[in-house]
Amino acid sequence: MIPAANSAAELMRSLSHPQRLLVLCSLVDGEKSVSELRQELDIDQVPMSQQLMRLRSDGLVEARREGTTVYYSIVRPEVLIVVGALQDAFCPPNAAKQSPLSRQT
């Protein structure tokens, strides 16, 4: 049980930043390019690069290069489960077109 608790705590630390959480929410639907993520989430290039670098170093996402475009996708299935649960809890169903978890409460 202790190793599982440590893994869960590490995942929660990775999810603890709002921009990282938004990126993961966006990637739940599948692979996206950096420019798609920036446009959808309205995050400037420097913070977006920082958050994607952290998510990669934490092993939550992977990058794929096609020409000059870099695409990101979620690699750990537990991330999909946890982010899905957070979306169910915090994002109303009628706000499907709104960026997940971006609502002000």
What is d(CA 19, CA 64) in angstroms, rounded to the nearest whole number?
21
Start-to-end Cα distance in the chain: 35
State the total domains in the chain: 1
The domain that holds 47 is classified in CATH as: 1.10.10.10
The domain of 16 spans 2-95
What is d(CA 93, CA 4) in angstroms, rounded to the nearest whole number?
31
Residue 102 lies in a domain: no
Dihedral of CA 62/64/70/74: which sign? negative
Residue 104 lies in a domain: no
Question: How confident is the model over 78-95, as pLDDT tens digits?
Answer: 999 999 999 999 987 765
Question: How confident is the model over 30-69, as pLDDT tens digits?
Answer: 999 999 999 999 999 999 999 999 999 999 999 999 999 9
Residue 103 lies in a domain: no
Phi, psi of 68, deg, nearest 5: -95, 0
Predicted pLDDT of residue 101? 55
Predicted pLDDT of residue 103? 44
